Amino acid sequence: MQLFKKGRKIDFIVGGTQKGGTTALDYYLRRHPQIGMADRKELHFFDNERIFSKPKVRYSEYEKKFNFKSQKKIYGEATPIYFYWEPCCKRIWEYNPEIKLIFILRNPISRAFSHWNMEFDRNYDSETFSNAIVNESERVKESLPLQHRVYSYIDRGLYFEQIKRYKSYFPDKQLLFIKYEEFKTEQEKTLFDIFKFLGVNPDEFTFEHKTIHEREKHSNISNEDKKFLISRFKNEIKKVEEILGWDCSDWLE
């Protein structure tokens, strides 16, 4: 068992798609006796432009969010946007090039709608889903040169470049990509694979299925919107299949 020592680095990070199962995974990881998670989900450290605009990054502020005195075998956190936010990859690599990374990817079509539903529910977006996706390229310009945190319904689903970026910095042995739809239907099996990847004992974990609260839908995705998104994502999904060796035909059904 690793004992507390000053300057200890975080061992792993969970990222991936917004509205893609990271809340459920965070819940399960907290219940493994060998894993120490951050004091809350979504620390938003590596996507914080204010922190990284300073001459020196104070990683100690980040590491204060972990209770190293608990003497867990490994420590980690879950912040979905680390996968999408472009500067995060290099920043994470500079912090710990040996870190392990877990990314959950969801059907980009249903993810986009779920994302809009959340923003509409929070009153962060008053546009209809149809208007939001059709006009996204214009709407996101207001955040340039940075990405847009709210209106990026389609852009967040362009997984290929995001995957390629992380693969350019980290070896495959440090990367684990999980298909959301498989995690949702086969949680216990997926968790076993995750624990093996992280190097903790799966037998020390007692699985109890947890249903994470889902938001009320404010509308349903129309056939027109679905066709629009299928045409937008079709080639993108093929590239994801090639780079990860997945079958994503269900994403286009």
**In contact, 85 and 47? CB cutoff 8 Å:** yes
Confidence of residue 3 (pLDDT cuts 50, 70, 90): very low
The domain tally of the chain equals: 1
Q: Which of 97-101, 179-183, 216-220 shows the lowest mean pLDDT across its residues?
A: 216-220
Is residue 1 domain-resident? no
Sheet holding 12-16, edge to edge: 35-37, 74-78, 12-16, 100-105, 175-179
pLDDT at 215: 56
**pLDDT, tens digit, for every residue of 4-51?**
334 689 999 999 887 778 888 999 999 999 999 999 999 999 999 999
User: Residue 52 sits in which domain range?
Assistant: 12-252
**pLDDT, tens digit, for every residue of 153-173?**
999 999 999 999 999 999 999
Is residue 50 domain-resident? yes
pLDDT at 152: 93
pLDDT at 21: 84
Distance CA 166, CA 83 (A): 8
Is residue 122 domain-resident? yes
Distance CA 234, CA 230 (A): 6
Is residue 3 domain-resident? no
Buried-exposed string 193-216: b where 16+ CB fall within 10 A, e elsewhere: ebbebbebeeeebeeeeeeeeeee
Is residue 5 domain-resident? no
Is residue 2 domain-resident? no
Is residue 30 domain-resident? yes
**What predicted TM-score, i.e. pTM, was given to this entire model?**
0.90
Q: What is the mean pLDDT of residues 238-250?
A: 96
Sign of the alpha-carbon dihedral angle for 107, 97, 38, 4: positive
pLDDT at 5: 38
Confidence of residue 207 (pLDDT cuts 50, 70, 90): confident
pLDDT at 4: 37
User: What CATH code is carried by the domain that includes residue 44?
Assistant: 3.40.50.300
Is residue 4 domain-resident? no
How distant is the alpha carbon of residue 105 from its chain centre? 7
More confident site: 217 or 135: 135
Distance CA 161, CA 85 (A): 11
**In contact, 154 and 136? CB cutoff 8 Å:** yes
Distance CA 88, CA 29 (A): 22
**pLDDT, tens digit, for every residue of 54-102?**
989 999 999 999 999 998 999 999 999 999 999 999 999 999 999 999 9
pLDDT at 59: 93
